[in-house]
Structure 1
Amino acid sequence: MYRIGRQTFDTFVEILQCNPILKSRGQKPQRHVQWQLGCFLICYGQLGSPAHDTMLKMGIGYGTVILYCRRVTRALRETFATWLNEKELQESTDAILAKVGFPNCAGSGNGSLIQSLQPSWMGLAYLSRKGFFALAIQAIVNHGIWFASWELGWPGSVTDSRIFKNSHFWQHRDQYLKYGQYILVDKGYPSTPYTV
């Protein structure tokens, strides 16, 4: 059901349980990381398994599915796709300058769609502009096409620009890009001092 083996699942649990996002901060304790990771894997690991289907399989509320998926996505992003450190950022800008001639370019970003079946709940929200049901994903990569940032889980009808403006990267862009650095983006994105 989770689309990964038990050993891999246990390894992810061990890695993620140290992340403060998956630890309780208030009086009401969070469910164990195993539950939250399992919910995430059911929701995103099956073709067309939106939050409604996952909530029925796990016996939890719709909002709880969304909450668990957001927590796990954020924890995975912080663990495996951390933004470039100073050295990596300089390597990326140097490599892009040498290869294509863009000075101070840190990488590139774009969105894509993960095709799915029609969800049983809020189905039209997942209908993409390309005419099929999908989840939207957006990523920023460095010169070596390594993921430096991503957003996952938006319905397919949401525009790349809206996902980008709500992303952690955009909301903290001044912390990620310094000294006049920017990323290259597709034509659907805003043109700003941080994006070209």
Structure 2
Amino acid sequence: MAALLHLYNCQGRRNDRLFRERIGLDQLRDFEVMSRYRLDRVSIEALIGLLADDLMKPTRRSCSISAEIQVLVTLRYLAKGSFYSEVADLHGVSRSSVCHAVESVVTAINDKLDTIRFPLESLNCTKYSFYNKCGLPNVIGAIDGTLIPIQAPAENEAAYVCRKGFHAINMQAVVDSNMRFLDIVARWPGSQHDSFIFNNCGLKDVLESADLGYLLGDSGYPLRSYLMTPILNPSSVAEVNFNNHHSSGRSVVEKAFGVLKSRFR
């Protein structure tokens, strides 16, 4: 009887919970921070300060996950595209915690971060920089679209199949000569054409209402007074030279997409 009672107590006793070590920014050197999270220490600390109130939820637990760890977990996942288990092991949390952290941080970023705005009041520097780069005057940005792969959605699945045969969102972006994003539209499915997205974006209305300058776009966009496209089938030296200058200026948006996708996998 005593042996059975002892066995019952052993089976009913709950094991002590073990907490793994959680490594924060203060334990990493600058090059390690950049390598792991693809952002520098100052930018990450600013992001933590911006999102802290949204990420810290009331709890009676003594080892709740801090806003810093949640941001680091999310940045690591976005930067590397790793499995949840790898991210969890690196930061001393569970896989379910990684899932909750990524959702919470991304939602908070969408609600709080508002840094990409078209610089209507400071376009002279942008025009000067583009002129030095490609020799074309009055250029205020380069525009293009890129496909962002996604999982197949439950609704309107066929609309998200892009021309390359996978499910995606067609993201439109405008960048300056230094590859800084000035405007982004990320709401249309992958089957939509670049020209359709531009014709239904707010920036088009702004450019039509004021003489600000013009964007550089590829041949998939319509030629407008505020949107310059290359000459199809150039027949003179001047037209070839124009296309070369146009391509030199427009290439920054393709480079910007490459940097974005290599930084956040």
Question: TM-score, normalised to structure 1's length?
Answer: 0.59
Out of 50, 69, 73, which is 1:11 matched to?
Answer: 50
Is 1:147 the equivalent of 2:181? yes
Higher helix share: 2
> What do the CA deviations read for 1:98-146 (whole angstroms, capped 9, x no partner)?
2211110111000011012222221101000111110111000111111
1:131 aligns with 165
1:93 aligns with 127
1:173 aligns with 207
Residue 127 to residue 148, structure 1, CA distance change in 2 (3 Å): same
- Conserved 8 A contact 2:133-2:177: no
2:227 aligns with 195
Give the superposition deviation at 1:14. 6.3
What pairs up with 1:87-126 in 2 under 5 angstroms? 87=122, 89-126=123-160
Residue 93 to residue 194, structure 1, CA distance change in 2 (3 Å): same
1:157 aligns with 191
2:92 aligns with none
Give the superposition deviation at 1:187. 1.0
Is 1:81 the equivalent of 2:79? no
What's the secondary structure of 1:117's corresponding residue? coil
Alignment RMSD, CA only?
Answer: 3.3
- Conserved 8 A contact 1:83-1:176: no
What's the secondary structure of 1:124's corresponding residue? helix
Out of 196, 209, 217, which is 1:185 matched to?
Answer: 217
Residue 142 to residue 129, structure 1, CA distance change in 2 (3 Å): same
Identity of aligned residues (%): 29
- Conserved 8 A contact 1:169-1:176: no
Question: TM-score, normalised to structure 2's length?
Answer: 0.45
| Counterpart residue type for residue 169 of structure 1 | L
CA distance in 2, matches of 1:142, 1:177: 18
Count of aligned positions: 137
CA distance in 2, matches of 1:171, 1:9: 35
| Counterpart residue type for residue 188 of structure 1 | G
